[in-house]
A and B are shown apart, each in its own frame.
Chain A
């Protein structure tokens, strides 16, 4: 077990092969397109995934993430482009000859076979000696802690147990790549969190490459080495969970992952070490601590995470009334979430800003409450400038 720690960003512990130009990827997807009629389910996707990665395809429903996974498994044939694994082009290779295995969202367990028979199914297809099949099935069931339920039929298992059988059935084949289609979607919240850690542990223990499809950004952030965010058939950003969260490259990614405040602005000044953005529709200037690669007076969006903002009743230290990175408003809503509170501040222009405040002190009365006039401020590193 991970000892109950929050695996916030696994990339740190991982050798980050995507940054090394000498590494060859395990899976190479080149200009892949899949159309159904005139609908582009996957639209010109190129993607490299490296050995030992836990790669998440993240997006809303209908964004093409499952189609991309099914293209890798061979259940769909690409309209254009190609997929190769370990240097072997998979064009025309039927699903049963591919070195990948898929865990289905519905689990797709064979209802007429016991747990052990389900897990043994893939090994029987390889024609292995029965003694080897038996020991490998036993190992796989032990790994997912189901060794005592080997004789049960799928309908006699709980949802969580079925999920483990489905996992064991794939793992036992020792595929080069394991594809997981929404593996946790059918579990309840608590079980889902536990299973996240277990999946990560199993993946690290076996050193396998996992490609997972999910619509749940928390899940993707917690488990992945890298995340590919998809929208309308395209991959809009690829990066470590940390990169996609802190350095989104588009309004879509910024808005899709976590919550964020976005302001329209015009680039007023750009130097190598800082930039100034004049707010549009809001009496505010944004001071950014790095340069922006855009022409002066370009329209931009400044995005700021709620937890990077500070809330105070008085002018914060080091600020004057006309400092940049400062807004005035009144508290409209407070959502107390235990570990933190979310404040919704309504500005003079009428727009809302979300600020999250960690509840570091134990208190029964909030120092800032409804209808209080407040200042919202943020440091120069907080703003992300998006040039669309």
Chain B
């Protein structure tokens, strides 16, 4: 629907068709609505629950706002849940352990994923799509089933132990399941594609002539990698690392299925508080603190990054 206006000297000018204002508002409002319904509202509910007192009832927490007997508004904020997080070392240990496991898993993913992404980006274009498909292929099977499959591989009479025993390399099965090793393995296996894909996207955009220019200026290949390729792939490294680190911190399924009783991660603590202890307020407080612990550093990184960009422009 082109708007047209008549110029003073009789020339009719056509403007490209524009969406009417209301339609534009509608399009823009979809993501906001989504965020409101699936992020802001649940977040506020969790915040509310975390400030209430637990009780044996349905729901298992006391209302935050009540009309008192004398019709006065009665608001009871309970900060004891947060105080508990600080007092009981369990939570601190779980947080730190989660961050530690997520951090090292991210490093392992980076160490494995970078060469893979590099190889795919440098591969013959005819092969590239196929190789990328192989990276994405595991997503066609449910995440849960893939983690279960690792139990069959790692357990005492599983594939690996049976093979090693039948070859006579060991005579007692190796304890692999229910160890930190299994958790690292599970996280690395599950999240590796999230590291590879952004790295691939960055490395693929890397201009070949930059590498040729470096070689031309007397730079041997390994040093070209350190001085040109690596610095220019930092955005991919950051994106991939965040995509692995953030879900790994809150991971529940992998430590629950592959980890042992010693592998305390915050996701499991959260689960226990909700479903074993039925202490929703403490569980909500754990969830909120975890979210803040993740969001604040990321916001800080983003802010530093955008300031750097602004300074350069």
B6 at the interface (CB under 8 A from A): no
Among candidates A74, A96, A111, residue contacting B232 with C-beta atoms closer than 8 Å: A111
User: Which of A40-48, A102-110, A265-273 lies at the interface?
Assistant: A102-110
A379 at the interface (CB under 8 A from B): no
CB neighbours of B209 from chain A (8 A) = 104, 106, 108
Q: Is the CB of B218 within 8 A of A102?
A: no
Q: Is the CB of B217 within 8 A of A169?
A: yes
B216 at the interface (CB under 8 A from A): yes
A173 at the interface (CB under 8 A from B): yes
Q: Is the CB of B228 within 8 A of A101?
A: no
B87 at the interface (CB under 8 A from A): no
For the complex, what is the distance from the CA of A111 to the CA of B233, rounded to whole Å? 12
B68 at the interface (CB under 8 A from A): no
B223 at the interface (CB under 8 A from A): yes
A window 66-123: CB within 8 A of B: 73-75, 94-98, 100-102, 104, 106, 108-112, 121-122
For the complex, what is the distance from the CA of A112 to the CA of B232, rounded to whole Å? 7
B111 at the interface (CB under 8 A from A): no
Q: Is the CB of A173 within 8 A of B228?
A: no
A20 at the interface (CB under 8 A from B): no
For the complex, what is the distance from the CA of A294 to the CA of B220, rounded to whole Å? 55
Per-position 1/0 for B181-221, Cβ under 8 A of A? 00000000000000000000000000101101111111111
When C-beta atoms are compared, the residue in chain B nearest to A106 turns out to be B209
Q: Is the CB of A110 within 8 A of B219?
A: no
A317 at the interface (CB under 8 A from B): no
For the complex, what is the distance from the CA of A128 to the CA of B261, rounded to whole Å? 58
CB neighbours of A98 from chain B (8 A) = 216
B312 at the interface (CB under 8 A from A): yes
B10 at the interface (CB under 8 A from A): no
Q: Is the CB of B218 within 8 A of A173?
A: yes
For the complex, what is the distance from the CA of A29 to the CA of B219, rounded to whole Å? 25
Majority DSSP secondary structure for residues of B touching A:
helix
A134 at the interface (CB under 8 A from B): no
Q: Is the CB of B218 within 8 A of A122?
A: yes
Decide yes or no: A125 and B219 within 8 Å by CB, A106-B207, A108-B207, A112-B232 being known contacts: yes
Q: Is the CB of A126 within 8 A of B218?
A: yes
Q: Is the CB of A96 within 8 A of B213?
A: no
Give the A-B pair count, Cβ closer than 8 A. Answer: 62
CB neighbours of B218 from chain A (8 A) = 96-97, 122, 125-126, 173
CB neighbours of B210 from chain A (8 A) = 108, 110
| B206 nearest CB across to chain A (Å) | 10
A136 at the interface (CB under 8 A from B): no
A192 at the interface (CB under 8 A from B): no
Size band of the interface chain A makes with B: 20 to 34
Decide yes or no: A125 and B223 within 8 Å by CB, A106-B209, A112-B231 being known contacts: yes
For the complex, what is the distance from the CA of A109 to the CA of B216, rounded to whole Å? 12
For the complex, what is the distance from the CA of A97 to the CA of B219, rounded to whole Å? 9
For the complex, what is the distance from the CA of A156 to the CA of B313, rounded to whole Å? 8
Q: Is the CB of A108 within 8 A of B212?
A: yes
- Count residues on chain B whose CB falls below 8 Å from chain A CBs: 19
Decide yes or no: A153 and B312 within 8 Å by CB, A106-B209, A108-B207, A110-B228 being known contacts: yes
CB neighbours of B217 from chain A (8 A) = 96, 101, 121-122, 125, 169, 173
When C-beta atoms are compared, the residue in chain A nearest to B218 turns out to be A125
CB neighbours of B312 from chain A (8 A) = 153, 156
| A260 nearest CB across to chain B (Å) | 36
Among candidates B212, B219, B231, B232, residue contacting A121 with C-beta atoms closer than 8 Å: B219
For the complex, what is the distance from the CA of A156 to the CA of B309, rounded to whole Å? 12
CB neighbours of B213 from chain A (8 A) = 102, 104, 108-110, 169
Decide yes or no: A104 and B215 within 8 Å by CB, A110-B228, A153-B312 being known contacts: no
CB neighbours of B223 from chain A (8 A) = 125
Among candidates B220, B227, B228, B231, residue contacting A96 with C-beta atoms closer than 8 Å: B220
CB neighbours of A94 from chain B (8 A) = 215
| A105 nearest CB across to chain B (Å) | 8
For the complex, what is the distance from the CA of A173 to the CA of B215, rounded to whole Å? 13
CB neighbours of A108 from chain B (8 A) = 207, 209-210, 212-213
| A209 nearest CB across to chain B (Å) | 16
Per-position 1/0 for B160-181, Cβ under 8 A of A? 0000000000000000000000
| B310 nearest CB across to chain A (Å) | 13
When C-beta atoms are compared, the residue in chain B nearest to A120 turns out to be B217
Among A94, A109, A125, which residue has the most Cβ atoms of chain B within 10 A?
A125
Decide yes or no: A102 and B216 within 8 Å by CB, A108-B207, A108-B209 being known contacts: yes
| B282 nearest CB across to chain A (Å) | 47
For the complex, what is the distance from the CA of A96 to the CA of B217, rounded to whole Å? 6
When C-beta atoms are compared, the residue in chain A nearest to B231 turns out to be A112
Decide yes or no: A101 and B215 within 8 Å by CB, A112-B232, A153-B312 being known contacts: no
CB neighbours of B212 from chain A (8 A) = 73, 75, 95, 102, 104, 108
CB neighbours of A96 from chain B (8 A) = 214-221
CB neighbours of B216 from chain A (8 A) = 73, 75, 95-96, 98, 100-102
CB neighbours of A121 from chain B (8 A) = 214, 217, 219, 227
CB neighbours of A95 from chain B (8 A) = 212, 215-216
CB neighbours of A156 from chain B (8 A) = 312
When C-beta atoms are compared, the residue in chain B nearest to A102 turns out to be B216
CB neighbours of A110 from chain B (8 A) = 210, 213-214, 228
**B interface list, Cβ under 8 A from A:** 207, 209-210, 212-221, 223, 227-228, 231-232, 312
Given contacts A101-B217, A153-B312, 12 further A-B contacts (CB under 8 A): A94-B215, A95-B212, A96-B215, A96-B220, A96-B221, A106-B209, A108-B209, A110-B228, A122-B217, A122-B219, A126-B218, A169-B217
**A interface list, Cβ under 8 A from B:** 73-75, 94-98, 100-102, 104, 106, 108-112, 121-122, 125-126, 153, 156, 169, 173
19 contacts between A and B (CB under 8 A): A73-B212, A74-B215, A75-B212, A75-B215, A95-B212, A96-B215, A96-B219, A96-B220, A100-B216, A101-B216, A104-B213, A110-B210, A110-B214, A111-B232, A121-B227, A125-B219, A153-B312, A169-B217, A173-B217
Q: Closest 9 interchain pairs by CB?
A: A122-B217, A125-B218, A108-B213, A108-B209, A95-B215, A96-B215, A102-B216, A125-B219, A112-B231
